[in-house]
Copies of this chain bind each other. A is one copy, B any other.
Amino acid sequence: MLPLAPPAPTAFRQWPNVLEVSAATVNGRTMPIRKPVLDPPFHIVRASHVELNVRDLERSRAFYVDCLGLLVSDEAPDALYLRGVEERNHHSIVLRRSREADACALGFKLASEDDLDRAASWFARRNLPTAFPDIPYQGRTLRTADIFGMPLDLYVQMDQRDSMLQNYAEYRGARIQRIDHLNCFTPDVQASYDFYSEIGFRLTEYSETDGEDPQLWAVWLHRKGNVHDLAFTNGLGPRLHHVGLWTPGVLDIIHICDVMATSGYLANMERGPGRHGISNAFFLYLRDPDGHRIELFTSDYLTVDTDLEPIRWSLTDPQRQTLWGQPAPASWFEQGSGFSGVVQRQPALTAQPIVAR
């Protein structure tokens, strides 16, 4: 674990003068919610994949493949490439054998190679890292990072595998269809929101503190047209909070609860099942054998309209987390996966959500 850096949100807030560009009045408030950037500097299509370091690849395979039912696209002595039943992209979760159980990078698919070049220029102009390492099964890939150092892999092309969507006899476990989103801790939700808004991520829902000077506590941002591709929550960061995987329906999530509870994975069920207030999705949170958090998620709503107004939730509304009222456990608020080699910072905002005692 790297030493924690002191809180430094103010510096980051000075980064782009984005508020001048597109400040907006939403729900009668002028700040801090912004208009969506409809013509971004480059086109991100969606959250595409994540690379996780795990300490015991066989143990992880038992969890992700034998229990949850993800498909194996390829395996190497030190890596396992996984995808859901509808996915033609080679991988949406990559597991790498490692001594440390942390996260490597978040992968986003871009619309074209031109977009990838524009992305490289855009990050370079902001003095953020740019490299084009060779990545197995992927085309040209820009490895960069956001303002807090969170590693991002941007690419256009990935090797294709057959969609198994209509190979129903191969469905197992939770019948996971595809990756849906990535959710991260950030030490400064406002700064992360500003940064990703600038490159075209659009806000669908957010929670903030009450009172005269409300502060953003969490934001849900999308590119692909549902509630999110990327979300940020206030906390020690950057860290990966969870990877969201889409299932066909609610009963697939109920079934995997029954499976996990009766096949040695009871302790891996962290929260749920339940209905989120935010996103309206049905959910279950799991912890993999290394503690990486997985959300099974289904049934949110369409967000493609350009005039879609973001939905505000008070941080103290117990139904924002779980419509049915059950508070999340403390671990859910506190624990996450660090990014390999990235310094973490404490958030400046210390408001307290509702936690199950």
* A interface residues with partner B (beta carbon < 8 Å): 38, 45-46, 67, 86, 88-89, 109, 111-112, 156-157, 160, 163, 165-169, 171, 177-178, 224-225, 248-251, 254-255, 257-263, 266, 269, 273, 275, 277, 280, 282, 299, 301-302, 304-309, 319, 323-325, 357
Contacts and interface: CB of A to CB of B under 8 A. Distances in A.
Contacts of A307: 156-157, 160
Contacts of A89: 305
Contact of A305 (B109, B168, B254, B305): B109
B38 A304 contact: no
5 contacts: A38-B112, A178-B302, A250-B251, A254-B275, A266-B324
A149 B169 CA distance: 41
B169 A262 contact: yes
> Most B CB atoms within 10 A — which of A45, A46, A261, A308?
A261
A307 B112 CA distance: 9
Given A156-B306, A166-B258, 5 more contacts: A168-B261, A168-B263, A224-B302, A225-B225, A261-B324
Contacts of A157: 307
B254 A250 contact: yes
B269 A324 contact: yes
Closest 10 CB pairs of A and B: A169-B263, A168-B258, A168-B259, A225-B225, A86-B301, A261-B323, A224-B304, A261-B324, A111-B306, A169-B259
Contact of A261 (B67, B177, B275): B275
Contact of A224 (B225, B262, B275): B225
A257 B275 contact: yes
Contacts of A324: 257-258, 260-261, 266, 269
A341 to B, nearest CB: 30
A19 to B, nearest CB: 21
Contacts of A269: 324-325
